[in-house]
Amino acid sequence: LAVGYCQLPELLPVPGLRLGTTRAGVRYQDRRDLVIMELAAGARVAAVFTRNAFCAAPVVVARDHLARISPRYLLVNTGNANAGTGAQGEADARRCCAALAELGGCRSEQVLPFSTGVIGEPLPVKVIVEGLPAALASLSEQGWSEAAQGIMTTDTLPKGVSRVLELDGQRITVTGIAKGAGMIRPDMATMLAYVATDAPLAQPLLDRCLRSAVERSFNRITVDGDTSTNDACLLVATGEAGIPEIGETGSAYQALCGVVTEVCERLAQLLVRDAEGATKFVTVEVSQGRDAAECLQVAYTLGHSPLVKTALFASDPNWGRILAAVGRAGLPDLDLAGVEIHLNEVCIVRGGARAADYTEAAGQAAMNQDEICIRIALGRGGARERIWTCDLSHEYVRINAEYRS
């Protein structure tokens, strides 16, 4: 189960966005596996996609459609990632878009397809197309919770969050949902996130806001260092809030972008909390670096180290492993004498060796927590970064070794 209390909170509707969910039977029967999001005319969409060169057919098609015209529908299926399916996969994704466009009365390019699930199997187009009417019939601004369930694959719980802010005396909503339980599932293509607001945001600012929020959230988590073939994150601005368009990077933009970032951070944390086999939610904070890049280099070296991650799983305050990971992160001229490391509030390393006042009991008490912050001060500058990660458990190996059997 996920680390920490993560029950789905009330998800607030975003005027101008309706969501419909149904059980189409893509891979399993009796499971919500098809979600349609309908965008009001005039809504704007920003998107970021996986950087994996082996990207899935729906990613190729969604990128193509997005470059042509404003979207009216997002179509998500679980159970099948339509990845590793070559030219047939692209044709299949386009057939699904065309079918929804016909029912919805728009152009085929106004539908963006998203698929998540098993890699390498042909997409069951007929099953998806047959599910469309039921999904359309259930469209509602109240449909967020069901959609959060409808995009789940092996997630143990639906993930979503809402925030409100006030702009121009008007209440603005930001609601987001996400799915994914490893950076890439065994044969699964993983992370999808949809965030929407009713604030009217000019397209360049929408793109900028999404990139900035993603950089601080989904690009700051790691479970196993693997990157899915299907990752996508969308930000929709319906513009229905009845305030003037935000076209400049003034205080309204800053406030809105801050809340969007907060929503993305929460969703990113939920992915890590529900990661495969995770028993610990771990924040790695690296400060006093020369620049952000070297702080991240150290943070990810820890976040990807099997030895650090197994020590976390064992609740072992193993400062030698942490210090060794810092040492091999590849920082030029790193003077370990200037490095300080804390586990939560306990100083474990100072001056390149175990802190003089460190006691195993204090380290053990910190490590016994479910939520652990590893704080590393590099002692050579003013930059600071943090990432979220989890431990490496027997359950991770079991899930990933047994998934296909």
Active site residues: 190
For residues 363 and 347, give the distance between their C-alpha atoms in angstroms, rounded to a whole number.
8
**List of residues 6+ apart from 357 with CB closer than 8 A:** 347
Binding letters toward a second copy, positions 315-334, x by CB under 8 A: -x-xxxx-xxxxxx--x--x
For residues 283 and 274, give the distance between their C-alpha atoms in angstroms, rounded to a whole number.
15
CB of 303 to a second copy, least distance (A): 12
214 part of the interface to a second copy, by CB under 8 A: no
Residue 140 or 227 with smaller CB distance to a second copy? 227
Taking each helix axis from N to C terminus, what angle separates 319-327 and 292-304, rounded to the nearest 10 degrees?
130
What single-letter amino acid sits at 269?
A: Q
For residues 153 and 173, give the distance between their C-alpha atoms in angstroms, rounded to a whole number.
27
Pick the stretch among 159-167, 267-275, 280-288, 390-398 that binds a second copy (CB under 8 A): 390-398
Positive or negative: CA dihedral 309, 311, 315, 318? negative
Q: Which of 5, 7, 30, 53 binds a second copy (CB under 8 A)?
A: 53
Binding letters toward a second copy, positions 341-370, x by CB under 8 A: ----------xxxx----------------
Question: Residue 190: left if φ>0, alpha if ψ -120 to 50, beta else—which one?
Answer: alpha
Q: Which of 52, 359, 40 is nearest to 191 (CA)?
A: 52
Q: Which of 364, 376, 371 is nearest to 317 (CA)?
A: 364
Pick the stretch among 109-117, 144-152, 191-199, 396-404 that binds a second copy (CB under 8 A): 396-404
Residue 50 or 173 with smaller CB distance to a second copy? 50
Residue 122 or 204 with smaller CB distance to a second copy? 122
Binding letters toward a second copy, positions 145-184, x by CB under 8 A: -------------------------------------x-x
CB of 252 to a second copy, least distance (A): 37
For residues 281 and 327, give the distance between their C-alpha atoms in angstroms, rounded to a whole number.
23
Q: Residue 123 in contact with residue 112, Cβ under 8 Å?
A: no
Consecutive H or E run containing 68: helix 57-68
For residues 9 and 20, give the distance between their C-alpha atoms in angstroms, rounded to a whole number.
19
Interface of this chain with a second copy, residues 7 to 36, rule: CB under 8 A = none
How many residues form the binding site for a second copy (CB under 8 A)?
Answer: 58
CB of 234 to a second copy, least distance (A): 21
Q: Which of 63, 107, 216, 304 binds a second copy (CB under 8 A)?
A: 304
CB of 344 to a second copy, least distance (A): 19
Torsion angle defined by CA atoms of residues 310, 389, 35 and 106, in that order, rounded to the nearest 10 degrees: -140
Pick the stretch among 80-88, 246-254, 281-289, 365-373 that binds a second copy (CB under 8 A): 80-88
Q: Residue 106 in contact with residue 72, Cβ under 8 Å?
A: yes
- Binding residues for a second copy (CB under 8 A): 51-55, 83-86, 119-120, 182, 184, 186-187, 224-229, 304-307, 310-311, 313-314, 316, 318-321, 323-328, 331, 334, 336, 351-354, 392-394, 396-398, 400-402, 404-405
